[in-house]
Amino acid sequence: MEDVLKYLATHFSGSHPPQLRTPFVVDGLDFESRVVPALRRLASAVPSYVEGIDVDQVDYPVILLGLTERGWEAAEGIGRIERASHDRDEVLKYLAHRFAGDVTGRLDTPFEVGNLDFDSQVVPVLRRLASADPPLIKVINVDQVDYPVVLLGLTERGWDAVEASASASASNQSLSLSESDVQYELDVCLSFAGEQREFVQEVAGGLREAGVRVFYDEYEKAKLWGQNLYTYLEQIYRKSARYCVIFASSEYKRKLWPSHELRMAQSRAFTGCEAYILPARFDDTEIPGIPPTIGYIDLRTTSPRELVKLIVEKIASM
């Protein structure tokens, strides 16, 4: 499925026709046996990864119109669309500069963003920013054009994304200069009880938008499917990440899987010379193995967005 998703992301982010008709060739994969099953999965997921047109006689999209926001996020998450991610950051940076100093609060298309081609690079980004839920830009649309023709400004989420992108850029520069011989697959993993999933999901989404490599179980359903979770999670929480955020609570203390994740994190912390466990507390429950003298973030007075900023700053300061 990753090869098909990579192909679709490349197609819809470049100077190609807006529609893609089946069949098509993906890196030599047989269309019927390899591409079609992938299209079924991408189209039937909830929410879907692709926008397409179906016909009654065929059980997969016969015409693809583009990737959904989830599809773009998945493509970026597997590192298959670096150019589209770069284009998004450049457009956001341009819009932030434009609207920060514009009293009229209006920007008509087309406009120039550095060396980016407007039709093939800027337009796909505008579609994504406007169709996200919630959107990142305030726009005016017309029926004849499938992208915003007038931009009125950035939404609160858009400004957050600009700030997160800038922080992530500083973080990446810091990492390239300061990392030792150890190279981690992930920047941070999240350990929490299900009762706090809504809060943690906002944090995970903000980290992903900031370009942080984060382990959050909902993003890894396909990988977790069929795995021996005991050994797989041991690898994640003991070896794979630079930091582990523990979302401490009374529910966390009594749950089986969070306890396993915590033991693995403590094993890593015990053998390492740098801070690894980053506690964040929903209440005052004492968690075995996390001394009260360790600095923590109080989530009773800290929002998910604020926590995202703190995590990004922590990674950047390493």
Average pLDDT on 9-22 reads 71
On whether both 90 and 73 belong to a single domain, the answer is no
Q: Which amino acid is at 225?
A: W
In this structure, the number of other CB atoms found within 10 A of the CB of residue 209 comes to 20
pLDDT classification of 181: cutoffs 50, 70, 90: very low
On whether both 147 and 231 belong to a single domain, the answer is no
C-beta separation of 274 from 243 below 8 A: no
Q: Which amino acid is at 170?
A: A
Backbone angles phi, psi at 243, to 5 degrees: -135, 155
Query: Does residue 174 sit within a domain?
Result: no
On whether both 42 and 121 belong to a single domain, the answer is no
Tell whether the model's pLDDT for residue 278 goes beyond 90. yes
pLDDT classification of 175: cutoffs 50, 70, 90: very low
On whether both 214 and 310 belong to a single domain, the answer is yes
Tell whether the model's pLDDT for residue 300 goes beyond 80. yes
Does 229 or 291 have the greater pLDDT score? 229
Q: Which amino acid is at 305?
A: R
Instruction: Look up residue 38 and give its two tokens.
Output: 């992938």
- Domain end marker among 77, 96, 130: 77
Query: Does residue 159 sit within a domain?
Result: no
* pLDDT score for 180: 43
* CATH number of the structural domain spanning residue 204: 3.40.50.10140
Tell whether the model's pLDDT for residue 1 goes beyond 90. no
On whether both 264 and 228 belong to a single domain, the answer is yes
Query: Does residue 43 sit within a domain?
Result: yes
On whether both 213 and 143 belong to a single domain, the answer is no
On whether both 277 and 189 belong to a single domain, the answer is yes
d(CA 204, CA 184) in angstroms, rounded, equals 18
Give tens-digit pLDDT for 199-237: 999 999 999 888 889 999 999 888 888 888 888 898 899
d(CA 20, CA 130) in angstroms, rounded, equals 22
SS3 174: helix
On whether both 193 and 312 belong to a single domain, the answer is yes
Helix axes 156-178, 304-316, angle to 10 degrees: 20
Query: Does residue 164 sit within a domain?
Result: no
Does 139 or 308 have the greater pLDDT score? 308
Query: Does residue 42 sit within a domain?
Result: yes
- Domain end marker among 33, 59, 77: 77
Q: CB pairs under 8 A, 24+ apart, for 127-135?
A: 127/66, 128/69, 128/72, 128/88, 129/88, 129/91, 129/92, 129/158, 131/68, 131/69, 132/69, 132/157, 133/69
Query: Does residue 238 sit within a domain?
Result: yes
On whether both 11 and 138 belong to a single domain, the answer is no
How many domains are there within the chain? Answer: 3
DSSP secondary structure code for residue 285 in this structure: P
pLDDT classification of 243: cutoffs 50, 70, 90: very high
On whether both 63 and 88 belong to a single domain, the answer is no
C-beta separation of 252 from 192 below 8 A: yes
Outline where DSSP puts E strands in 49-161.
50-53, 63-67, 107-108, 137-140, 150-154
On whether both 186 and 288 belong to a single domain, the answer is yes
DSSP alpha helix (H) spans, 14-117: 36-44, 69-77, 82-100
d(CA 164, CA 272) in angstroms, rounded, equals 29
Query: Does residue 7 sit within a domain?
Result: yes
* pLDDT score for 167: 62
In this structure, the number of other CB atoms found within 10 A of the CB of residue 306 comes to 14
pTM for the structure as a whole: 0.47
Query: Does residue 101 sit within a domain?
Result: yes
Of the candidates 139, 128, 156, which has an alpha carbon nearest to the alpha carbon of residue 70?
Answer: 128
What is the sign of the dihedral through the CA atoms of 16, 19, 24 and 25? positive
In this structure, the number of other CB atoms found within 10 A of the CB of residue 210 comes to 24
Question: Which residues form the domain of 274?
Answer: 179-316
- The H or E element that residue 173 is part of is helix 156-178
C-beta separation of 66 from 12 below 8 A: yes
Pick the most confident of 65-69, 93-97, 143-147, 303-307. 303-307
- Domain end marker among 119, 154, 189: 154
On whether both 192 and 303 belong to a single domain, the answer is yes
In this structure, the number of other CB atoms found within 10 A of the CB of residue 67 comes to 27
Torsion of CA 223, 227, 230, 236, to 10 degrees: -30
